């Protein structure tokens, strides 16, 4: 079994990769920084040899998407695709510096769009597969300092819903993941000693659990927030 997990070198992506590997999957992943990928590979492959394979790629650049997806498809058609690549820039729709919206759209929307378009035909051919898009609670409601990030995540939600409609008759499931605050680099410096916000494993467990259902069942939305609510 093969899972493509973009942005799988740290945080939520790495947590998802570790869990899928522990369940027998080979994970194909990418990130912009090789040192993070290499560190993750060294750790995981000690226990699960040749199970975490990676390629350095910036998926906000379309030609790098093509290089990554071509590499993946040479290894095999994926059973699972997790579009997790992306990042956060706090801002304001009115005050953002020129180019911020374009960066957020390229990293958070276009990466998922182009990766999916490249690998979905292989899933369609075998009439099975599960695609997860890492949206956000920012896809559901506007919030202060969301700015261009919020716009990109609302757009990713729209892509997810359209994809669900288009692929359902091919036996391919599509799920949107909508996490609240998770202890990742986006929250670096936050004191989570009181367990106020979630950990990456919480998201990974929900993603994997969604793959265990019967073929006729699809979890369309995974909304998961800290127990005490959003910050």
For the chain, 231 residues long, the average pLDDT of each consecutive 10-residue run is 97 97 97 95 93 97 97 97 92 90 96 98 97 95 87 97 98 97 81 88 97 97 94 83
Residue 54 and residue 37 in contact, taking contact as beta carbons nearer than 8 Å: yes
> What count of Cα atoms within 13 Å lies in the side-chain half-sphere of residue 172?
27
- What pLDDT is stored for residue 126 in this prediction? 95
Nearest by Cα to 179 from 163, 202, 145, 157: 202
pLDDT value of position 156 = 98
What's the angle, vertex CA 209, arms to CA 60 and CA 128, rounded to 5? 65
Beta partners for residue 118, in sequence order: none
CATH class of the 2-224 domain in this structure:
alpha beta
- pTM of the predicted model, to two decimals? 0.95
Q: What is the pLDDT of residue 187?
A: 77
Helices (H) and strands (E) in the chain, counts: 7, 7
Going by DSSP bridges, is the β-strand pair 172-179/129-134 parallel, antiparallel, or unpaired? parallel
pLDDT of residue 94: 92
Q: Which of 53, 41, 39 is nearest to 5 (CA)?
A: 53
Alpha helices in the chain (DSSP H): 11-22, 34-47, 62-75, 100-105, 111-126, 147-167, 200-210
Which residues have a Cβ under 8 Å from the Cβ of 186 and sit 6 or more positions away?
11, 87, 88
From the list 112, 177, 175, 106, the residue with the least C-alpha distance to 139 is 177
CA–CA distance, 70 with 115 (Å, rounded to integer): 10
Length of the chain: 231
DSSP string spanning 209-228?
Answer: HHTTS-TT----EEEE--TT
Give the Cα-Cα-Cα angle 129, 222, 208 (nearest 5 degrees): 50
């Amino acid at each position: 079994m093969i899972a493509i997990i973009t942005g799988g070198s740290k945080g939520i992506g790495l947590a998802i990769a570790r869990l899928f590997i522990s369940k027998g999957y080979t994970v194909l992943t990418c990130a912009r920084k090789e040192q993070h990928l290499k560190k993750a590979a060294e750790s995981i492959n000690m226990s699960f040899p040749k199970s975490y394979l990676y390629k350095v790629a910036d998926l906000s650049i379309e030609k790098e998407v093509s290089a990554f997806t071509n590499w993946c498809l040479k290894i095999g058609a994926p059973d699972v695709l997790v579009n997790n690549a992306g990042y956060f820039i706090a801002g304001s729709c009115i005050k953002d510096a020129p180019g911020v919206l374009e960066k957020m759209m390229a990293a958070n929307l276009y990466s998922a769009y182009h990766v999916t378009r490249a690998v979905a035909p292989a899933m369609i051919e075998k009439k099975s597969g599960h695609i997860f898009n890492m949206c956000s609670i920012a896809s559901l409601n506007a919030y202060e300092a969301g700015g261009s990030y919020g716009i990109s995540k609302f757009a990713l939600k729209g892509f997810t819903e359209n994809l669900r409609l288009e692929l359902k008759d091919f036996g391919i499931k599509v799920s949107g993941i909508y996490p609240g605050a998770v202890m990742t680099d986006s929250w670096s410096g936050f004191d989570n000693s009181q367990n106020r916000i979630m950990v990456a494993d919480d998201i990974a467990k929900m993603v994997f659990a969604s793959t265990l259902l019967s073929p006729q069942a699809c979890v369309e939305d995974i909304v998961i927030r800290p127990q005490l609510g959003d910050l």
